[in-house]
Amino acid sequence: FSHQLRRLQRDVLRMGALVESACLLARSALCDRNLEAAQQLKAHDKQIDQFYRQIELDCVELLIHPPQGMQNLRHVSAFMQLIRDLERIGDYATDIGEVAIKLFPCTVHPYAEQIQVMFDRCRSMVALSLLSVSDLNAEVGADIKVKDDAVDDDYDYLYDRLVHTTAPSDNVEVIVLLVLAIRYLERIADHATNIGRRIAYVVTGERK
């Protein structure tokens, strides 16, 4: 890696740390009914967006004016794509915080524990995706894919239970909000999987 790419990687990881923190806040808001955590998410999202814009500009500059000796620009292209994945994960974390605030007045739903399990899988995937960025490890992508399959199973199970086993006495708004929450989690998992794939491309030069 050249000096410029090392700096780019470092900035991506700093952005990733904010995204990981946003996921933790979203989990606390949704699963622990933590209002303070939910309120912190918007400020986090602004910081994430600032990183995204700056890193994108840096990538464009490197692509237009590559430093002398930089022969392979796929690293820059991959970083430019994966920061979009990170930015979207941050957006979904903020969305989950907004869902959590709307759920605060309601009683805890019977499927809250299963949603927490799904959330923890997603957080683990985000952590693994950042590890792949830090270590430039193509093999981590396989571990992320296994977890993504589990998250898809979680989503299918919870969606089916929430939509098709709703009793007439259940609060429809709560069901809609929980379906939104698990949809956001499923999308977080997809973006984490994308990051693993992009790093595999950086390392191997092969798209999967």
Which stretches of the chain drop beneath a pLDDT of 50?
Answer: none
**Non-local CB neighbours of 74 within 8 Å, separated by 6+ positions:** 201, 202, 205
pTM for the full predicted model? 0.94
Which domain range does residue 160 map to? Answer: 3-204
What is the pLDDT at residue 73? 81
> Smallest Cα–Cα separation from 199: which of 86, 19, 89, 74?
74
Token pair belonging to 19: 């995204």
What is the pLDDT at residue 108? 87
Token pair belonging to 195: 């990051």
Burial (CB count within 10 angstroms: exposed 0-12, middle 13-18, buried 19+), residue 33: middle
Q: How far is CA 2 from CA 61, 67, 73, 111, 133, in A?
A: 15, 9, 11, 49, 16
**Non-local CB neighbours of 39 within 8 Å, separated by 6+ positions:** 97
User: Which residue in the block uniquely carries the two structure tokens 């292209």?
Assistant: 77
The three-point CA angle 192-111-157 to 5° equals 60
What is the pLDDT at residue 72? 65
Contact 136, 78 (CB under 8 A): no
Q: Kindly report the CATH number assigned to the domain that includes residue 50.
A: 1.20.58.220
Q: What span, in angstroms and rounded, lies between the C-alpha atoms of 118 and 107?
A: 20
Number of Cβ within 10 Å of residue 147's Cβ equals: 18
Question: How many domains is the chain partitioned into structurally?
Answer: 1
What is the pLDDT at residue 169? 59
Digit-coded pLDDT (tens) for 110-152: 899 999 999 999 999 999 999 999 998 888 887 898 899 999 9
**Non-local CB neighbours of 143 within 8 Å, separated by 6+ positions:** 128
